[in-house]
Amino acid sequence: MLDLRQLAVLQAVARTGSLAAAARDLYVSQPTVTHHLDALERGLGAQLVERGPRGTHLTDIGQVLLGHSAAVLERLASAESEVRALASQGVATLRVGTFPSAGATLLPRALGATQAETGVRFELREAETPQLIEALAEGSLHAALVYSDLSSGLEVPPGWTRTRLMEDPFLLALPDAHPLAQAPHVRLGELADEGWILARDPGDPVDLALLGAAAVHGFAPRPVLRTDDFQVSFGFVAAGLGIALVPRLALDRPHGVVVRAIEDVRLARGIDLVRREAPPPAVTTLERELLAVARDLEERAGNA
């Protein structure tokens, strides 16, 4: 049976080009390198290395074995990392759900820091909040980033809890030729005759908040398009085909679009992390990192 130390020696010889250099690379003596290499060749009944005055290189057979040895050692290192993560963090692979705009802004930095600290791997699922809540209830996710209107509660499955990460205000997206585009203040009542770009789901919490606020001002927003893709929304706004509410996290607006705050109504969504009440340590680490990223994003927005 192959000895892992022999495969490591073969890799070092291929990497460094000499037995002496391989010994230094592995922090062992040259006779130790020679011993393992000779034993490997005897066990396989094949010459793996050609030694010469100008260095050492692998034979064709040695090259074949090198390819397999790299895969074997990499797999073993991966197994060791996975087992260590499972033993220390409660999970080997962290399954996290997210909605698109949080997945592009909040999550990457937080997951990167979590992985560096804990060694866990991660799998992501992108969906809207109702689908993510269903996945949590089924147990197919360890945690999920979700959103809801600030004035409404979000029901989470039994045994789960939510942590408010940040508030994400919605801003009004207007075509730059719109009469209100240069106005210092915009009031909701001024938008009664506009065509609105709304979410695909008529029950979207932020759209419901908009409908409620508009009803107070005596009108109902007239939908001209329903989409969950903010880039599509921006395209229609730029073309003068409608106006839209866009969360601050999604403000990657194209030419031809301006954004304004609505002065007399606060429309925003709360972004939460939903997790089990007693989560694995890796989820606790992720929550801490998400809160740090959220604070940073809010500070930047406040200074903009």
pLDDT in tens, 182-230: 888 899 999 999 999 999 888 887 788 899 899 999 999 999 999 988 8
Q: Which two tokens mark 122? A: 């991660």
Q: How far is residue 193 from each of residues 34, 183, 196, 243, measured CA to CA in Å?
A: 85, 17, 9, 11
Closest CA to 165 of 253, 263, 285, 274: 274
Q: Does domain 95-166+269-303 have CATH number 3.40.190.10?
A: yes
pLDDT at 4 > cutoff 80: no
Ordered by start, the domain boundaries in the chain are 4-89, 95-166+269-303, 168-266
pLDDT band at 275 (very low <50, low <70, confident <90, very high): very high
pTM for the whole structure: 0.67
Which tens digit of pLDDT belongs to each residue from 46-92?
Answer: 888 888 777 787 888 878 887 787 777 777 666 666 566 555 556 77
- CATH T-level assignment (fold) for domain 168-266: D-Maltodextrin-Binding Protein; domain 2 (3.40.190)
Same fold, 95-166+269-303 and 168-266: yes
Average pLDDT, the chain: 85
- Least reliable range by pLDDT among 29-33, 128-132, 139-143: 29-33
Residues 6 or more apart whose Cβ sits within 8 Å of residue 110: 286, 289, 290, 292, 293
- Domain 4-89, CATH class in plain words: mainly alpha
Pick from 108, 129, 53, 122: which is nearest to 290 by CA?
108
Which tokens sit at 40?
A: 């490997």
